[in-house]
Amino acid sequence: MDLKLSGTYPFFLLFTTILSVQVLVCLCSLEYEKSPECNKPFQCGVIQNISYPFRQRGSPQYCGRPGFELSCEDGNPMITFMSKRYQVYTFNIMLRMLTVGPTDDRNQILCPQQLVNISSNLGPFYVSYNTKNVTLYYDCPTMANQSIGLSNHQFNCSMNGTDHVQVGYFVVTSAFANLSAATKEALGSCRSSVIGLAFASMVQILEDNPSSETLAVALTNGFGLQWSENFTVPAGSSASSSSNLKLIIGTHYAKLF
């Protein structure tokens, strides 16, 4: 006699799949709870009580979420986006926020060897509310005569230590719509462009006093990031047992309530 499952079979397959996923999650959670590396928060320099979803480089991967690996270099916590390291300046696990800044010097920040749009390569993070975009245009024709208003927005990049100098311009991205048609056309003739990130307060200073120096300061001061709350903190972790909102800022530690 043939056994016909008909409509029962898809339900059975779905039930089996859900059960398998739940078992996998439970096993990962148990593995987390049994691991001393996971249960113990770590610190790097003045940044303390770093815990899930972050994990320290060298610890088991199940101790944290993908993209949340931190390394500790000379007492400075570092996070990597697109093979580029950024120093973590502040850290708040309850608000799911951190601030980071580049480790490069001024010339490397304004004139990197490889142009990368960091804003689109942040992994599990997204730009925080207190951060704005600045568009940097590279290898542009000299256009001060035809683009009035951009003379203070120019910066120069020397190519690989040679005498050849590329002209670049920067524009606060939100102000691009207010530029004249001629200026937009001139910027469109630049060979490439990237989006830089800076705190809104620094961008305001940049708008009030545009220059290559204030641009370098704005980009050097870093930017804010956040991550989604759509994950479960494993039982037994320091993040799940904390009832206080703690903010760590550089050398300052504040207990908000």
Domain boundaries, the chain: 97-227
> Does the pLDDT of residue 220 top 90, yes or no?
yes
Q: Which two tokens stand for residue 89?
A: 């300046």
Higher confidence at residue 184 or residue 242? 184
pLDDT digits (tens, 9 = 90+) for 73-92: 999 999 998 888 999 999 88
Higher confidence at residue 62 or residue 221? 221
- Helix H or strand E encompassing 86: strand 84-92
Q: Which two tokens stand for residue 206?
A: 């940049």
> Does the pLDDT of residue 124 top 60, yes or no?
yes
Q: To the nearest whole percent, how much of the chain has pLDDT over 90?
A: 33
The least confident of 45-49, 168-172, 181-185, 247-251 is: 247-251
If phi > 0 it is left, if psi is from -120 to 50 it is alpha, else beta; for residue 236 that is left
pTM recorded for the entire structure:
0.73
Check residue 161 and give its pLDDT.
59
Indicate the pLDDT class of residue 245, thresholds 50, 70 and 90: very low
Check residue 58 and give its pLDDT.
87
Alpha carbons 4 and 135: distance in angstroms, whole number: 63
> If you compute the radius of gyration of the chain from its CA atoms, what whole number of angstroms results?
24
Check residue 107 and give its pLDDT.
84
Task: Round the average pLDDT of the chain to a whole number and report it.
Answer: 76
> Does the pLDDT of residue 158 top 70, yes or no?
yes
Indicate the pLDDT class of residue 120, thresholds 50, 70 and 90: confident
Contact 44, 77 (CB under 8 A): yes
Stretch 201-213: mean pLDDT, rounded?
A: 94
Stretch 16-32: mean pLDDT, rounded?
A: 43
Indicate the pLDDT class of residue 116, thresholds 50, 70 and 90: confident
